[in-house]
Structure 1
Amino acid sequence: MSTEAVETLDEKTLKHPCYNCIAHKYARMHIPVAPKCNVSCNFCNRKYDCVNETRPGVTSEVLTPELARDKFKLVKDKVKNLTVVGIAGPGDPLANFEETKKSIELIKKEAPDITFCLSTNGLMLPFYADELIKLGVSHITITINSVDPKISGQIYKFVDYLGEKLEGEEAGKVLLHNQISGLKYITKKGIISKINIVMIKGLNDNHIPDIVKKVKECGAYMTNIMPLIPVAGSVFENRPTVDDLELNNMRKKCGLDLKQMYHCKQCRADAIGTLENDISGKFRKFDLKEIDENKIGSKKINYRFAVATKSGLNIDEHFGHATQLYIYDVINGEPKFLEKRSVDKYCIGINECSGHDDRISKIISAVSDCNAVLALRAGLEPISILNEKGIKLFQMYNKIDKGIERAIELLEKN
């Protein structure tokens, strides 16, 4: 690759937080305008209005292109560091091409300089690549979980290709052919491509280096190896996931061949904000004419909770280990995800979990508007300090919504 080409890639990715790890100060907005999907993945369960989950395929609303434009205008006005608009579902953007196309056209009229990107399974990429280029899409992510049709046949239930339902190895062959041909074409046309790979223990984990080598040959800019999220209701709900050590070892191994992404948050289809601070809750389930900070703040909030969670599903993280807390409001008895808040890790070693006023003061500041903190475990010192500030800390392991119900019971008893 020439120096000129590298500089062009660097220039285009400078303000895209997913493609550039040092672009963390910039924000992105996912517009959920694509509900239909043409590939059924065994790890997917695309529940809408699932505020307790932070993962691909989840959204609290599906927007028309016109509503997506209107919401973009409001978000752009309030989120000054917004540089990227992405379409990542909740289905596949190319299975909803007319909605995808119109959304991009409408938003481009409002903000010609905004960066447009989308994520796709690649099945229809050869059909729409030229139109995406004309629309000004500069970044495309393709999820390629295998370059062996036999393995693909175990990852996908079926592929709906031009009205024909394909299964097993046959589905894998068609999907792979279109993914690879589409990838080669868009990279030749100057599109910056990222390849998402879901690492599935015992299925494709040993095969991932082959995927990375193949997509490198086809011109991919980087790969993003992600852990399987065992989602309730999916075929793979009971399949074990990989730990951070296994995941990062694979990334390091594959990094010898191609640039790797280490900072992925496996975002929702309606995510807004920086990767470290998803503020989509501030813009969720409100009439678009009323998305105003003052009006949002005036809504009746019964309780506010900060939750220590690694999975985004359960209360499953030690208070002292958390680097971000999920904030939930209880409005009219219903828990609603508001946002994520970054905090300093309170416990950084066996002898470093107490006596740090600077750390605890920052955490208290981050949760000062909360009634309680919910965590898997916590030390006596933070429990005592939070209690002095009028903030309860409840230790429990439970699903987030159930934990919030229990916390409300305990607060009302007192």
Structure 2
Amino acid sequence: MFFFKKYLLFIIISLYFTQLYSQNIDHKSLELEISNFNDKNQNEKSIVKLDKIINDTKSTDYDRYHAYLQKSLTYKNLYNYTGALTNLTLAEKAGRNTKYNKETSTRVLIEQLFIYFDLKKNKEFNELLLQVKPENLKYIKNETRAFYECILGNLEMKKGNYVLADKYFDNCIILLKKENPKHLPIIYKVKVELYNLMGKHKEAIKAFEIGMDYAEKFQIDIYKITMLETIIYYYTSNEQYKEAYLAQSEVTRQRKLYDAANRSGQLNNLEKELLQQRSDIELNNKKNMQLVLSTIIILLCILIFVLFKLFQSNKQRRLLIEKEIARMRIQLESYINHTAENKNDQLYLNLEKYNLKPRHLEIIELIRKGKTNKEIGNELFISENTVKYHLKIIYEILDIDNRSELTK
């Protein structure tokens, strides 16, 4: 019983402090941590970390927005665009009810734009592009802004506006060098394409080398693959088939190591496992809670039973006390009456000890009956003065002062 009380107290205290404690997530640190996991091809760690935040009851909607956003980027890294779009939808939903809804909706819109651009789904891309309002770009970071301007540069490049496109790309390089240089290969990739179209072959090769240097420096495999795929297209379009073949051999090797499809499948399986684990934990918690509630109910029933027994016991004790009081009252009354009778008997006995004449006793008896001197005289056929005379003698014999003492 003592052990259970301690256990119950521990549960109550734990629940109290669980509610008291509030989630405190540094979103910049979270983004950096997930980005590092993904750069090192440790996507499983990203998913486990983000899943924990998403399903933590202490997480805010803004916390969940960031978690879903990072999950989307994790899947996008593995070319799993379906998973990326699904998590963007969840991110938008989570961010909708926060005070940062302008920021969250703009970021989700831009990320969706990037995905449809990569998928070359022009209809969806153009619809989203029309929704991007220049005044809302202030809500996104320079890193995301650089990717957005890179797309605008691509659009100008397709229109043949090469100079304007190059200005966009140069601005992207400036932004990323300040914000996050590890993403510079993305810009140098399109620079290779642009310079190829412009016939600037030296500049194209230089852009490839710079982009590849950044990919090697930060050890980001997906950017190595991206740069290699770009140079293959460059070599092929310029009929440099030997160089294209060598680059193709390298990109095949890199893709085999990266193994995006398999890793994406592993992430899907991991999410299923995490979901199953959560279900098992919830089921176990439910069983434990039912056990605790059942135990509490049993204890309450025992407490009620004990209180009922105590009530009955007190009731019986009260009845016994009342009976005892009644018995004592009867005894006391009997004692009082008996004492009074003894006093009266004792008084009469005492009168017999005195030298009183029969006439004196008659007068005393009549006085006790409340008769006046005149009434006593009439009843005994003597005068009132004679009655007074006898009373005087009685007082002297009994050694009393007045007739009231004769009535006691």
Larger radius of gyration: 2
Q: TM-score range by the shorter chain?
A: under 0.3
With a CA cutoff of 8 Å and minimum separation of 6, indicate the structure with the bigger relative contact order: 1
More helix by proportion, 1 or 2? 2
More strand by proportion, 1 or 2? 1
Normalising by structure 2, report the TM-score.
0.26
